[in-house]
Structure 1
Amino acid sequence: MSHRGRWLAGACASTVAAGLLVTGGALAPPPHQVFPRDAAPAVAVGAYLHYGSPGVERMRDFSRWLGGTELRAGHTYLPGDTWANIEGAPESLRSWAQWRRARADRMFVLNVPMLEHNEAGVPDEQVAELIRAGARGEYDHHFRRLAKRLVALGVPDTVLVLGWEMNGFNYTHRCRPDPENWQRYWRRIVAAMRSVKGQRFRFDFAPNRGGDAIAWTRCYPGDDVVDVIGMDSYDQPPGDTFDEQIRQPYGLQQQVDFAKAHGKRISYPEWGLFRNGDNPDYMRRMLAWFSQHRPLYHSITDYCPHGVWQCEQNPRSAEVFRDSLSPAQGNHGPPYSGSVRGERRLRLGE
């Protein structure tokens, strides 16, 4: 999905608010384990709202719309237009950091581009050259600066969605032009950021669902430099039905299986409605998938056409989302930030 679209949508009336839920963590999560139902890990619920400070302000209103569900994480993106912005120059980072520090149980999730001019239509040959330069370490200093800035802002436990949708055709940080050196570049970035004193970052590897431009498994840089296996998944092809989205090559089931084999939690940094319009069945099935597989977090893209809050063109899906995730009266506890009634419906596919 276009990052430029996120920035433009953030300025219009259809943009929303929200967050994700989850506590900050250590440098790497523990090995994969099977949790009994009463000990299942909490699921982070949220929505992409706005790249800047308005995103922080809107989370409160989104929580009210959900009937008071406590949203315990915030999610935004660094723009990939210049190296200065990738280094964390946007002043809005201070607002996000302040929000994160206000409660110990909050988490900050930040999408980080791997190259500048990230949406400039750079051709494959030039992308390959840039990736090789990164693999040689020519851009390490930019990411050390970002790491130092995040630590100085008091958010050393940020979850970093680095080089998202790398298996696609569009972003300059895409993997297909040189997968082997792309992996080396990812490893250099992680090493540079982990070299900063005080950091406790977690790195989220988040491809698009499906094969796209390249099988995302070919881009995977290694268990020692990945903490979470994410996936961006919208209601669109490949996969005309939700069952197809699950079973397709490099789809939802393969993500879950891959993460389990590598001892990682899963996440869904972006998901939402798209090509099939207001689709309450998709909404119900996606929420049931989260309830079954317990991702670290999921973040709906909440502006039109994807969202459910201020996007008035999806009223039936909005009703499913709110009914499923609003708290039962007096119930705000784990493992899911939604009602007992909604949780039961999701598990049973009602």
Structure 2
Amino acid sequence: MSQRGRWITGACVSTVAVGLLVTGGALAPPPRQAAGGDARTEVAVGAYLHYGSPGVDRMEELSHWLGGTELRAGHTYLPGDTWANIEGAPDSLHSWARWRKERADRLFVLNVPMQERNEAAVPDARVAELIRAGARGQNDHHFQRLAKRLVALGVPDTVIVLGWEMNGFNYTHRCRPDPENWKKYWRRIVGAMRTVKGQRFRFDFAPNRGGDAIAWTKCYPGDDVVDIIGMDSYDQPPGHSFAEQVTQPYGLQQQVDFAKAHRKRISYPEWGLFRNGDNPEYMRDMLGWIAEHRPLYHSITDYCPHGVWQCGENPRSAEVFHELLSSEPGDRWAFRARPGE
């Protein structure tokens, strides 16, 4: 999903009051952290709330809204405008690192672009040139600097969502212009970051759901340089119904099957509402899918039109999200979406 206004979080946030309703339908237990649970199998719940330090503060607020549910996945992005930012220049990384180190069971999830000018509508021919240059090692030093910065901040176990949505049409780090060299470039980046002493990074390969510009399996760089098979999945075509989103080529079921065949955990770094507005059925189905398939983590994109807590446009979906993820099942207290800024 390209250019969703990620950097303008909260622009369409509004205040809305609704009562929590008990809705019908059978569903697997929600992916909630149980006391004394096994950290190897528990699902880390997260949300993208803001790319900078305000996102850290909002984690606690969202947890409170959910009746104390622990948000173990802190998720943000490095800006893809300049190499300096891709190297980890944003000051907000200090805030995220402090958040991560407060609890041993937390995950810090960081989306990392593979190219600068990542949302600048660079044409395919130029993208192919950039991919080949990266495959030759031209950018290794940028990623080594990022790795050193993360280790120095005390987050050497960061989950790196590298080159996300690579099977799409728009990002400069897209795969389609040269898939074979793109895979070599991914391998160069991972190799460069792994040379840094003290690192324990996990690399998350996270395409868009569906075929998009290229089948994401054609971009898979190899089991030795991928730790997690992720997927960004929003309520939009291809897949008008949730059942279609599961069964479509390169959809949710294929992700699960592919990960199992390659002995990898799965994740959902980005998911949420989109083309079908306030859709509580989708929200219930997606959370049910997550509960059934137990990803390492999932992170709803929580701003309009995708989200629930920071977006007053989706009150019915917010009810479902709260109902299934609250640490107080059956809680019927009235709540408000987070006010706009």
Output the TM-score relative to the length of structure 1: 0.86
Equivalent residue number for residue 122 of structure 2: 122
Structure 2 CA distance for aligned equivalents of residues 86 and 39 of structure 1: 30
- Per-residue CA deviation, residues 316-349 of structure 1 (Å, 9 max, x unaligned), is 1100000000013xxxxxxxxxx599xxxxxxxx
CA offset at residue 3 of structure 1? 4.7
Deviates more, 1:150-159 or 1:307-316: 307-316
Equivalent residue number for residue 204 of structure 2: 204
Q: Is the 8 A contact 2:79 2:86 kept in 1?
A: yes
Structure 1 CA distance for aligned equivalents of residues 32 and 192 of structure 2: 27
Q: SS state of the match for residue 110, structure 1?
A: strand
Q: Is the 8 A contact 1:21 1:107 kept in 2?
A: no
- The aligned length equals 313
CA offset at residue 39 of structure 1? 9.5
Residues 289 and 181 (structure 1), Cα distance of their counterparts in 2 relative to 1, 3 Å cut: same
Structure 1 CA distance for aligned equivalents of residues 232 and 174 of structure 2: 14
Matched, 1:41 2:41: yes
Q: SS state of the match for residue 60, structure 1?
A: helix
Deviates more, 1:1-10 or 1:298-307: 1-10
Residues 185 and 108 (structure 1), Cα distance of their counterparts in 2 relative to 1, 3 Å cut: same
Equivalent residue number for residue 151 of structure 1: 151
Equivalent residue number for residue 109 of structure 2: 109
Equivalent residue number for residue 239 of structure 2: 239
Q: SS state of the match for residue 61, structure 2?
A: helix
Structure 2 CA distance for aligned equivalents of residues 146 and 83 of structure 1: 10
Structure 2 CA distance for aligned equivalents of residues 212 and 138 of structure 1: 28
Identical aligned residues as a percent? 80
Q: Which amino acid aligns with 1:194?
A: R
CA offset at residue 190 of structure 1? 0.2
CA offset at residue 4 of structure 1? 6.3
Residues 21 and 47 (structure 1), Cα distance of their counterparts in 2 relative to 1, 3 Å cut: farther
Residues 82 and 21 (structure 1), Cα distance of their counterparts in 2 relative to 1, 3 Å cut: farther
Q: Which amino acid aligns with 1:198?
A: G
Equivalent residue number for residue 335 of structure 2: none
Q: Is the 8 A contact 2:87 2:143 kept in 1?
A: yes
Q: Is the 8 A contact 2:157 2:200 kept in 1?
A: yes
Q: SS state of the match for residue 108, structure 1?
A: strand
Matched, 1:96 2:84: no
Aligned-CA RMSD value:
2.1
Q: SS state of the match for residue 174, structure 1?
A: coil
**Aligned residue runs from structure 1 range 297-308, under 5 A:** 297-308=297-308
CA offset at residue 313 of structure 1? 1.0
Where in structure 2 are there 5+ consecutive unaligned residues? 16-30, 332-341
Q: Which amino acid aligns with 2:98?
A: Q
Equivalent residue number for residue 312 of structure 2: 312
CA offset at residue 71 of structure 1? 1.1
Equivalent residue number for residue 181 of structure 2: 181
Equivalent residue number for residue 271 of structure 1: 271
Q: Which amino acid aligns with 2:158?
A: T
Q: Is the 8 A contact 1:204 1:226 kept in 2?
A: yes
- Per-residue CA deviation, residues 143-178 of structure 1 (Å, 9 max, x unaligned), is 000000000000000000000000000000000000
Q: Which amino acid aligns with 1:317?
A: S
Equivalent residue number for residue 335 of structure 1: none
Equivalent residue number for residue 339 of structure 2: none
- Per-residue CA deviation, residues 36-80 of structure 1 (Å, 9 max, x unaligned), is x99981011111100000000111110111111111221000000
Deviates more, 1:274-283 or 1:171-180: 274-283
Q: Which amino acid aligns with 2:230?
A: G
Output the TM-score relative to the length of structure 2: 0.88
Structure 1 residue ranges, 4+ long, deviating more than 2 angstroms after superposition: 1-4, 12-16, 37-40
Residues 187 and 288 (structure 1), Cα distance of their counterparts in 2 relative to 1, 3 Å cut: same
